[in-house]
Chains A and B, each alone.
Chain A
């Protein structure tokens, strides 16, 4: 008889460039966990969800790995633990990665009509997680509504090979020959820090506002810009409205993640993103929304130029490849990454993240109501995604106060947009 554990091969993978920071800086206050939920029209059947999960994992072997500490770097190690779907019993975005504990870096839970995928950011970014959730929902509907679907039998678009999905997009597109990776940075200034009363147990307050994509697009077009630029501007406007008078000389800086899949040919389901900072000085510029939009629009154009992005990516890769940095023990690396991240967070007020448009097979559209996304937050932050004509904008905040959220949604509702609000507390 063969003993199962004896000759199993150790499979492990390095963390990609963007993932390296997360294990070092995650803590109970900011868990670096985010959640994407699919809301169906009918209650979830846990047995079929489990079957769907088992099938989905076949296509995403990376999700079966656990995160471990080596002497110099963290690494992913394959594991035999079998992930189970659970009824939702934890607060949104509660910690997944706990130092030394051997568990998966994601969690699938369900409650009533919702399926939640929560994952630790080191495993994947929003683009990869959506792919996983789309696959999970696909299998779930296919299994659960087999009889109703009858003859219409959509097949799953895999989109990439297993090895392409587990690929490191940063390595694949690294061109070390670029010498000048200096990025002209504005002088280091501390940004405005949104203050508030923390919720007990470091819980996150999640407020989701669901509305029509088309109507928001219309408003954005009215300002001559895209939806992301408009929502970023409106976010700044709402923060400013809540800003105490004596702090108004500080800059409001919003960090915006950039999906690198759009710039490089990589089909990875792992992390492949970078960020840009958009700042606005209300002291020197007008607080009118149309002026904010105009300015933010220009900043977005600059930030999204391929050349700037590539330089930034190469710069981070060079840093990671620096021989001195590579031979520093992990304990010390962790310590410095924590300090660097503290320092960096002082220059950012908040962030806004567009997870994008989620697609499913046409036949399944009558089963799915909406998708929504939220993420652990150090200060009130926005994440949003859309499905058909339903846009869900989510505020996640560690604070009790809801002033910024109220300002934001009232601005839209005053412009005749019908908003449905959902919250966890």
Chain B
């Protein structure tokens, strides 16, 4: 151990300077020096790729506006381009933020895709494709993807059951589209509704207790 004459304390590790006052320490006094704490390497943020992507997105949007102003055209395509970029980012952010929870992520993606689709459909003159195809198909594929990932990743039932339930409930929403006559093509909606009802009844019949326990746990006041 080294001794600091200024602070009158012993320093256990083999340092050159006193931990307390910063003065230079003299040679060893008693015992050897010890290594008590490990050297922890600095943690570098590896988000450079993300930063480059953000930068490229901004440059692309700015350039597209510039070109559109210099060479005007009938459609304001630069606005669409900007919305497209934002849409991609919203999807990405959700994926990154919910990184620890795969089933939650899937439900979030369904919600995001549905909202974006309605937004795009509306902005491009409402031809109804978002309700006709996108939402029903998103719900059905989410149910399939969730079941497959749960099997592949060997998730226990309680880890995805709530989200399977949520998605099943979403999948029934196209009933409203048909009732209020919002859709021109009914087949995807019918498939989605049928799929959801079957999936929900399966959940309740075979996993009813599990669902009840999950709800008790998550909703306890």
A binding-site residues for B, Cβ under 8 Å: 5-6, 8-10, 12, 14, 39, 70-73, 75, 77, 87-92, 98, 100-102, 111-114, 200-201, 206-207, 209, 326-327, 402, 405-406, 409-410, 413-414, 418-425
Contact = CB atoms under 8 A, between A and B. Distances in A.
A5 B154 contact: yes
A91 B40 contact: yes
A173 B22 CA distance: 50
Contacts of B7: 406, 409-410, 413, 421
Given A10-B213, A207-B19, A424 B37 contact: yes
Given A6-B157, A91-B40, A421 B12 contact: yes
A403 to B, nearest CB: 9
Q: Main SS of chain A's interface residues? A: loop
B37 A422 contact: yes
A92 to B, nearest CB: 8
Interface in B184-221: 210, 213-214, 217-221
A252 B131 CA distance: 63
Contacts of A111: 36-38
A102 B19 CA distance: 38
B21 interface: yes
18 contacts: A5-B156, A9-B213, A10-B158, A10-B217, A12-B217, A70-B220, A71-B218, A73-B220, A75-B220, A90-B40, A98-B100, A206-B37, A207-B19, A409-B7, A410-B20, A414-B8, A421-B9, A422-B36
Contacts of B34: 112
A200 B9 contact: no
B98 A100 contact: yes
Nearest to A103: B100
Nearest to B10: A420
A410 B101 CA distance: 51
A177 to B, nearest CB: 22
Interface in B26-64: 34-38, 40, 42-43
Given A10-B213, A327-B221, A402 B40 contact: no
B11 interface: yes
A364 B219 CA distance: 48
Contacts of A88: 37-38
Nearest to B20: A406
Given A5-B156, A423-B19, A418 B10 contact: yes
A-B residue pairs, 9 tightest by C-beta: A413-B8, A5-B156, A424-B37, A406-B20, A100-B100, A423-B19, A70-B218, A419-B9, A101-B100
A71 B219 contact: yes
Contacts of A9: 213
A99 B13 CA distance: 37
B1 interface: yes
B37 A423 contact: yes
Interface string B53-95: 0000000000000000000000000000000000000000000
Given A73-B221, A420-B9, A421-B20, 20 more contacts: A5-B155, A9-B213, A10-B217, A72-B219, A72-B221, A73-B220, A92-B37, A100-B98, A100-B101, A114-B36, A200-B42, A206-B37, A209-B9, A402-B20, A409-B20, A420-B12, A421-B7, A421-B9, A422-B13, A422-B37
